[in-house]
Homo-oligomer: A and B are copies of this chain.
Amino acid sequence: MTTLKNDRLLRALLREPVDVTPVWMMRQAGRYLPEYRATRAKAGNFMSLCQNPDLACEVTLQPLDRYSLDAAILFSDILTVPDAMGLGLYFTEGEGPHFERPVQDEAAVDALGIPDMEDDLGYVMDAVRTIRRELDGRVPLIGFSGSPWTLATYMVEGGGTKNFSKVKGMMFDRPELMHRLLQRVSESVTAYLNAQIAAGAQAVMIFDTWGGALTPQHYEAFSLAYMQQIVNGLTREAEGRKVPVILFTKGGGLWLEKMADTNCDALGIDWTLSLANARARVGDRVALQGNLDPCALYASPAHIREEVGKVLASFGHGNGHVFNLGHGIHPEIDPEHAGVFVEAVHELSRPYHVGS
């Protein structure tokens, strides 16, 4: 494989010195970019875009051509895994994802298969290989998956949810069935992330979007335990380098210590806690990724720079910070504002790395 020209991301995730703080944006390949909307229109719909490795590669690279980002992230959707497990994923305009066959009883849980990573999810692995080839070592490629609990919420509800009525109903009433479902999903996710690493992903991130909707005890038993299982099962080295693992539970600020105990390399941090607080609590055990409020990008360039400066100051000097938004960039954001953000991170972070 080609030598990596910019390895700031991988170094920072392993708490090694860097010249400036690396930065990328969750959903950086997304609707806020006119070129993304054009490619998506060409693909026809969202799923055709995910399933076409050349177009998935095209949108993955678009933000890198605009901004001096320090990482690419695979363009895909977290629901590819349950789709490959047989649930029949489809999207409706304005309403988001749905499953034709939600998982709501014992028979449905027992019918779930572990997908074959090349037969059922080969389009994802092809996208990873294509992106790596086209990146040609510019920056590392991040692979990702949803967490088992997060995937299970969609699988049981049959789509998005505000109330979590069905999935929490199952969790409270039939905990053993919920555990069986999460076990199958965890095995699938472990295989999925390992296949992405084998195909060329140089770091992986687990998105636990809905772990923050749980009580502390349920979070540990129904979300964290399965992320732990995945971390234990992952290939942690490839191409002669460590493959860092990032865990991100949105709204998980109360549970950072327990997340750091999983032996992951880094924690994604949303904007509801300061990096200073997070760092004081997890010390040097893990790197931290975050955590500008995505809404700061609605502000004027001067205010964006100011807010970036505050986040950098909150982390302070030392290694182990990857700058990011605290959640995905919103579709309404002006692409120029995203550029101001990326430049501000590189420019304003330099003093924090002098002598490192």
Name A residues whose Cβ lies closer than 8 Å to a Cβ of B: 163-165, 168-169, 172-173, 212-218, 251, 253-254, 271-274, 277, 293, 295-296, 298-300, 303, 307, 310, 330, 332
Contacts and interface: CB of A to CB of B under 8 A. Distances in A.
B293 A272 contact: no
A295 B173 contact: no
B215 A298 contact: no
B303 A172 contact: yes
Given A303-B173, A332-B165, A310 B217 contact: yes
Contacts of A274: 215-217
Given A168-B293, A253-B254, A254-B253, A212 B272 contact: yes
Given A165-B332, A169-B298, 19 more contacts: A163-B330, A168-B298, A169-B295, A172-B295, A172-B298, A172-B299, A173-B298, A173-B300, A212-B272, A213-B272, A214-B271, A214-B272, A215-B271, A216-B273, A216-B274, A217-B274, A218-B293, A253-B254, A254-B254
Contacts of A172: 295-296, 298-299, 303, 307
Contacts of A213: 272
Contact of A277 (B165, B216, B300, B332): B216
A27 to B, nearest CB: 13
A163 B251 contact: no
B293 A215 contact: yes
A177 to B, nearest CB: 13
Nearest to A167: B295
5 contacts: A173-B298, A214-B272, A251-B251, A251-B272, A254-B277
Contacts of A296: 168, 172
B168 A295 contact: yes
A216 to B, nearest CB: 5
